[in-house]
């Protein structure tokens, strides 16, 4: 008896099913695969839904057109969309994604009403302009210095170049302290930055820009809470001179290099910046309790 004759009817049935399944898969995947066109974002997988939300947030950060962004997000058909965006933002922070992506997602989450520490950290509510407005007493006339003509009867003196006034830059922070950074018994080739508010409380979420010849980088304070909410650091390389400035406006600190400590180990620098602006906290309404 041949081997084919020894196969039972059930075996032939199973073999036919396997051959049919293989031909079906080959036809569906190779010969005529399903091609989706104009698929709704609601049908996206989790990966592509996350990319879609990120693209919407980037576009919103660019044009600030909330009705358009809201219309695009509605195509996801997600009844818990705010929680989805908040969870995506938390994931980006946890995985240390690009700061620009984190900030655009935080701006989108804030627009959607998400009120979390992460949103407050990377998309804080803009501070009001606290510069005083000059007032004019009764009976006085405002005079614009740029429109006031020089007397024609007197010659105009030639101004000295060293006395020519220049407009001060609009700085939101001042350099409060700069000191050497040395840890006994270990190398610390770091630029550490501590940012504080106007009341000298640690202020997280401040973007720090670091530049050097043919290079640049950035980091945020607050990613290492064990060292303090306003702490951030940057690793220096030997024989490189760095310049540090806060993205929101601060004096530039240049010439930062690795310096030897007293024990011969590599040391760095610690910079402390203080915010020059503050927001007054409104008094609680009468009849309310904390």
pLDDT tens per residue across span 124-145: 766 444 444 444 444 444 444 4
Task: Determine, yes or no, domain membership for 13.
Answer: no
**Domain range for 100:** 41-122
pLDDT band at 238 (very low <50, low <70, confident <90, very high): very high
Task: Determine, yes or no, domain membership for 194.
Answer: yes
Asked whether the predicted pLDDT for residue 85 surpasses 60, the reply is: yes
Asked whether the predicted pLDDT for residue 104 surpasses 80, the reply is: yes
Kindly state the tokens that stand for 190.
């770091």
Task: Determine, yes or no, domain membership for 241.
Answer: yes
Among 5-14, 30-39, 133-142, the least confident range: 133-142
Torsion angles phi and psi, residue 209, rounded to 5: -105, 130
Cα Rg, the chain, nearest whole Å: 32
Among 21-25, 128-132, 189-193, the least confident range: 128-132
Same domain, 182 and 268: yes
For residue 224, give the CATH number of its domain.
2.60.40.10
114 CA to centre of own chain: 16
Torsion angles phi and psi, residue 150, rounded to 5: -75, 145
Task: Determine, yes or no, domain membership for 223.
Answer: yes
> How much is the average pLDDT of 226-241?
92
Task: Determine, yes or no, domain membership for 127.
Answer: no
Same domain, 108 and 190: no
Among residues 122, 138, 161, the one where a domain terminates is 122
Averaged pLDDT score across all residues of the chain: 77
Cα–Cα distance between 273 and 39 in angstroms, integer? 50
Q: How far is CA 257 from CA 80, 214, 252, 260, in A?
A: 49, 16, 15, 10
Asked whether the predicted pLDDT for residue 98 surpasses 90, the reply is: no
Q: Which residues, listed in sequence order, are joined to residue 215 by a DSSP beta bridge?
A: 212
pLDDT at 253: 94
Same domain, 267 and 187: yes
Task: Determine, yes or no, domain membership for 24.
Answer: no
Among residues 61, 94, 122, the one where a domain terminates is 122
DSSP label at residue 29:
I
Asked whether the predicted pLDDT for residue 26 surpasses 60, the reply is: yes
Q: pTM for the full model?
A: 0.47
Same domain, 102 and 178: no
Q: Where are the alpha helices (DSSP H) in the chain?
A: 9-26, 46-63, 66-74, 81-94, 99-111, 117-122
Same domain, 98 and 188: no
Q: How far is CA 163 from CA 151, 160, 208, in A?
A: 21, 5, 33
Task: Determine, yes or no, domain membership for 137.
Answer: no
Task: Determine, yes or no, domain membership for 158.
Answer: no
Total domain count, the chain: 2
């Amino acid at each position: 008896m041949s081997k084919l004759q020894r196969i039972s009817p059930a075996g032939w049935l199973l073999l036919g099913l396997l051959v049919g399944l293989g031909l079906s898969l080959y036809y569906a995947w190779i010969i005529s695969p399903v091609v989706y066109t104009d698929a709704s974002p609601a049908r996206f997988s989790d990966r592509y839904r996350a990319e879609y939300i990120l693209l919407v947030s980037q576009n919103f950060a660019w044009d600030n057109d909330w009705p358009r962004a809201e219309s695009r997000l509605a195509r996801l058909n997600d009844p818990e969309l705010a929680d989805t965006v908040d969870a995506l933002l938390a994931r980006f922070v946890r995985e240390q994604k690009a700061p620009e992506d984190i900030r655009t997602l935080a701006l989108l989450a804030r627009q959607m009403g998400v009120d979390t520490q992460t949103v407050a950290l990377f998309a804080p509510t803009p501070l009001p302009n606290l510069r005083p407005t000059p007032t004019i007493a009764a009976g006085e006339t405002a005079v614009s210095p740029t429109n006031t003509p020089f007397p024609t009867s007197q010659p105009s003196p030639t101004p000295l170049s060293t006395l020519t006034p220049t407009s001060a830059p609009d700085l939101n922070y001042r350099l409060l302290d700069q000191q050497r950074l040395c840890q006994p018994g270990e190398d610390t080739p770091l630029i550490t930055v501590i940012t504080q508010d106007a009341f000298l409380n640690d202020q997280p979420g401040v973007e720090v820009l670091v530049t050097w010849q043919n290079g640049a980088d950035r980091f945020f304070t607050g990613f290492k809470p064990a060292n303090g909410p306003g702490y951030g650091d940057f690793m220096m390389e030997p024989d490189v001179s760095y310049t540090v400035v806060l993205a929101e406006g601060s004096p530039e600190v240049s010439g930062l290099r690795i310096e030897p400590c007293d024990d011969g180990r590599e040391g760095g620098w610690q910079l402390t910046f203080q915010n020059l602006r503050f927001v007054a906290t409104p008094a609680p309404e009468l009849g309310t309790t904390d």
